[in-house]
Amino acid sequence: MAKRIGILTSGGDCAGLNAVVRAAVLRARDGYGWTMIGIHNGTAGLLARPVEAEELDRRMTTSTVLRMGGTILGTTNKGDPFAYPMADGSRRDRSGEIIEGCRLLGLDALIGIGGDGSFAILRKLAQQGGIPFVGVPKTIDNDVAQTERAIGYATAVTTATEALDRLQPTAASHSRVMVLEVMGRDAGHIAIAAGIAGGADIVLIPEIPWRLDALKRKIDALKAEGRNFALVVVAEAVKTAEGHTVDADRGFGQRRLGGIGEYVGEQLAAATGAETRVTVLGHVQRGGMPGAEDRLLASAFGVHAVDLIAQGKFDRMVSWWNRDVIDMPLADVVNNAHVVDPAGPLVRTARGLGICLGD
């Protein structure tokens, strides 16, 4: 039977989102003869009246789309529909309007491409509205539970590694300690992976508490062996020596992290006397063309998400697990986090390479 499938992107953008949408449209249209409806700006498109959405046609299936960064559909990472911030400062439950938005579009099922925060909201909406729902994990942070990989992570790691490639020659030219602050709201996946790939000397991640004396020892040891520079990677969620995260309140009940790199840089300069410079990589990690690994993952996830709908399997998230594309219950994904395992392979590798992890 012909179906109308809605698809939306939710939360922060990342490289590879358009590749998922393209794959889902190809599979739905050519594999099953279904119609795909692209919803604009995540749940915000379903709140708007008229609902903001479009039928995704042949233009969406070109390989141009496969290569594009960002999300053609638009997204939002604010405005929880169950406690929506209103102009007068109050909060209102607008979930019913979103469910009504799905009905107005005549959707038989919905695919949501998001992170754990988005899945918690979308799952609740799906349950409340009886909407058959399938999730596709994305986030440069790679902190979605029940999948080894989320879309956008591999490209972000490449970008952070390239930043270290550029920082190293200037660090060596000026005999400086270069601190690179990378993203990762709750987890240090980008920091540890880019730190290893980019030859960092010190990597600080939120999963491993750090001490200044350990950092000083590492810098002193490098100096003693004749090294005139050092590369330090700090994940944005790393806490200060006093145990505080460095952030700025942005309203909407969300934290915006940033600034721990500067803090670590100042501490290092004071403790070692080294000339220190800090680079905050920020949203450079999110934008840009998806790398090959993200295009591959996105394509596999888009196809599998549509196949799940064909099989009548809902309330599930597609997942990359043990070199296979499978699906997991969303119940096991929400309110769970995938952080760096302090005893896992990347931490072991870093330690084996002599990278100081601050402990």
Q: Where are the alpha helices (DSSP H) in 82-239?
A: 95-105, 116-129, 153-174, 189-197, 212-224
For the CB of residue 186, give the shortest distance to ligand F6P in the complex, in Å.
8
Q: DSSP string of 262-312?
A: HHHHHHHHHHH---EEEEE-GGGGTSS---HHHHHHHHHHHHHHHHHHHTT
Residue 183 C-beta: closest distance to ligand F6P, Å = 3
Total number of residues shown for the chain: 359
* CA separation for the pair 209, 189 (Å, rounded): 15
Q: Which is nearer to ligand F6P, 120 or 326 (CB)?
A: 120
Query: Which of 149, 137, 180, 152 has its CA nearest to residue 316?
Result: 137
Shortest approach of ligand F6P to residue 336 CB, angstroms? 16
**Cα gap 55→39, rounded to integer Å:** 9
Of residues 140 and 305, the one with the C-beta less far from ligand F6P: 140
Phi, psi of 4 (to 5 degrees): -115, 115
Count other Cβ atoms within 10 Å, centred on residue 210.
23
**Which one, 27 or 185, has the nearer CB to ligand F6P?**
185
Selected catalytic residue, list 13, 116, 141, 186: 141
Cβ 115 to ligand F6P shortest distance, Å: 6
To the query of whether residue 141 is one of the catalytic residues in this protein, the response is: yes
Q: Which is nearer to ligand F6P, 56 or 180 (CB)?
A: 180
Cα(194)–Cα(190) distance, integer angstroms:
6
> Least distance to ligand F6P from the beta carbon of 246, Å?
12
- DSSP code string of 314-340: -SEEEEEETTEEEEEEGGGTTT-B---
Interface residues with ligand F6P (CB under 6 A) are 12, 77, 139-141, 183-185, 236, 256-257, 286
How many CB atoms lie under 10 A from the CB of residue 132?
18
- Which CB atom, from 77 or from 279, has the smaller least distance to ligand F6P? 77
Please say which residue, 16 or 129, places its beta carbon nearer to ligand F6P.
Answer: 16
Nearest to 229 by CA among 161, 160, 180: 180
- Which residue in the shown chain puts its C-beta closest to ligand F6P? 183
Phi/psi at 327 (nearest 5 deg)? -140, 150
Tell the smallest beta-carbon distance from residue 278 to ligand F6P (Å): 17
The answer to whether the CB of 10 falls within 8 A of the CB of 21 is no
User: What residues are annotated to the active site?
Assistant: 141
